[in-house]
Amino acid sequence: MSKVKKILVDKGAEIPFYNRMDFCVGSGRMGLALHKEYYEQLKMVQEAIGFKYIRGHGLFCADMSLIQTYKDESGSQAVEYNFTYLDRVIDSYIDLGIRPFLELGFMPEHMASGEQTVFYWKANVTPPKDYKDWTDMVQAALRHLIDRYGRENVIQWPIEVWNEPNQPDFWKDADMDEYFRLYEHTALAVKRTDPGFIIGGPSISGRLDEACMRSFLEYVSYKKLPLDFISRHNYISHPPEKDGRYNYVKLSSIDDWFQPLDKTRELVDSFEEFRGMDIHVTEYNTSYVPDCPLHDTNLNAAYTAALLSRFGDKHASYAYWTFGDIFEERGVPYTPFYGGFGMVANNCIPKPTFWTFAFYKQLQGRCVHRSDEAIIIRRPEGSYRGILWNTDFGYEGRPLELEIQLPAEFAGYCLVTETVDEECCNPLKLWHDMGEPFNLTQAQTALLKRHSVPLIKSERISCSQSKIKISLMLKPNGVIYFDLSKTKMKSDRGYSYERILRGEIKGEG
């Protein structure tokens, strides 16, 4: 039994909707940006979606090789900078039309005050022994970027201080006072380098987020520190259950999902000096674990469609964590569908969620409808575009039929739908049916790619009484993008589509 809902759009409707889904996207650690597969996945994403900024960890981690020590002639330890890999990474970003959202972290070993690390790749998460060493490095890196890429470009790259300092995994003892010191030293050093830089924090996530945010804002306010934007993360799901290498999570309701974000908005606005300040959600996804098969599903695509329809209301941006599956926080994945965060699976296979983003990218125009299951915009030339999703998330979902009525401005329209659902675009299932191969052959990769595309259909709509009426059926966990464009049928001399259909009956020879 399918559910049925009606959507009725009035002439002149104008609904607030802030589509900022393409401002920023997350990435595996910066050193992985040297990889060919990383480049190719990002290329796919940029061609179909086109983000403006990219943010990942590890700018100062070992494999970027940015800061080095050596013994000088006198035998004492000296420091020097190596920008070879940083430039190679940024060059490839620019080549792909994307720019860095700079996260300053983690701690180079020789200047670290402790030995605590995070991740398979062992990022040191302790404060510096001497803040001077840290700010010298930050300034050296920023000056180098200005030299190479030009001040007018670099000052547009937002700078964020550290990552999730309220999590003991990411900052020793989650010592917020120490973080405030880090922020203070860093923000002041950044602005000394060039007052035009845009600086923000505190990049917190989960655990005591409200308290941590409040004390951060109070500290900044009291000390009158530079602060150009607020950043935080949002991961709202039940705690994952682990089995072997994998994590299984339950999703929260969409409303629950937005609660912490709404509170942050309120909190920030409660400070007079921060009211209305940009809040960048510099990470989010449906789970916070990079080995969670949920990310590879159609459910994830539908759920994300719901999130994107509301995300811009109170926040300046929201960076899906991450664009692709080149990601090693828990080590190198064993299979192509390992539940990574990415929109793109390894071997450049787009996951269903990839299409959710590609669809949202098309929604530029005046919003005329927004509800729990749909968003529709009108383009200046009079066409409509919309995204629909089945809100009955999960495996017991029922089909959802949406009956949509829109004001017609032309006599005829062409309706094109692009459908992504468990039947027509479900690479996870195809891979499973193949026997869950760990290592894809070329033929398997090619098949998975050819399968992982929306199903496109079209229909001619004739309007009566200035109304367009369409009815679209969403399978469980399905997402549909539609485009309703004006068409004027003008057939060539003697061309008759009806005759083509009618006339081709079988004859006698």
- The verdict on 497 binding a second copy (CB under 8 A) reads yes
Please say if 164 is a catalytic residue: yes
Separation CA 114–CA 171 (nearest Å): 11
**With contacts defined by CB under 8 A, how many residues of the chain interact with a second copy?**
103
Least distance (Å) between residue 251 CB and a second copy: 5
Quick one: which of 455, 466, 467, 469 contacts a second copy (CB under 8 A)?
Answer: 455
Stretch that binds a second copy, among 49-57, 194-202, 274-282, 289-297 (CB under 8 A): 289-297
What sign results for the dihedral spanned by CA atoms 97, 101, 104, 105? negative
Least distance (Å) between residue 230 CB and a second copy: 23
Residue count (the chain): 509
Looking only at the bridges linking them, the beta strands covering 67-71 and 77-81 are: antiparallel
* Closer to a second copy by Cβ: residue 186 or 287: 287
Cα end-to-end span (Å), the chain: 48
Residues contacting 422, CB < 8 A, separation 6+? 298, 429, 475, 476, 477, 478
Least distance (Å) between residue 332 CB and a second copy: 4
Separation CA 49–CA 23 (nearest Å): 11
Separation CA 163–CA 125 (nearest Å): 10
Quick one: which of 457, 467, 469, 471 contacts a second copy (CB under 8 A)?
Answer: 457
Quick one: which of 123, 189, 249, 305 contacts a second copy (CB under 8 A)?
Answer: 249
Q: Is 254 exposed, middle or buried (0-12, 13-18, 19+ CB in 10 A)?
A: middle
Kindly identify the residues of this chain, within the stretch 66-85, that bind a second copy according to CB under 8 A.
68, 70, 80, 82-85
Kindly identify the residues of this chain, within the stretch 130-149, that bind a second copy according to CB under 8 A.
148
Kindly identify the residues of this chain, within the stretch 366-405, that bind a second copy according to CB under 8 A.
393-396
Quick one: which of 116, 186, 193, 297 contacts a second copy (CB under 8 A)?
Answer: 297
Q: Where are the beta strands (DSSP E) in 390-466?
A: 400-407, 412-420, 455-462
Helix (H) or strand (E) holding 81: strand 77-81
Query: Which residue type, as a one-letter code, is found at position 99?
Result: R
Stretch that binds a second copy, among 7-15, 33-41, 201-209, 373-381 (CB under 8 A): 33-41
- The verdict on 505 binding a second copy (CB under 8 A) reads yes
Quick one: which of 87, 313, 329, 409 contacts a second copy (CB under 8 A)?
Answer: 87
Q: Which of 164, 373, 418, 422 is catalytic?
A: 164
Quick one: which of 54, 299, 348, 358 contacts a second copy (CB under 8 A)?
Answer: 299
Catalytically active residues are: 164
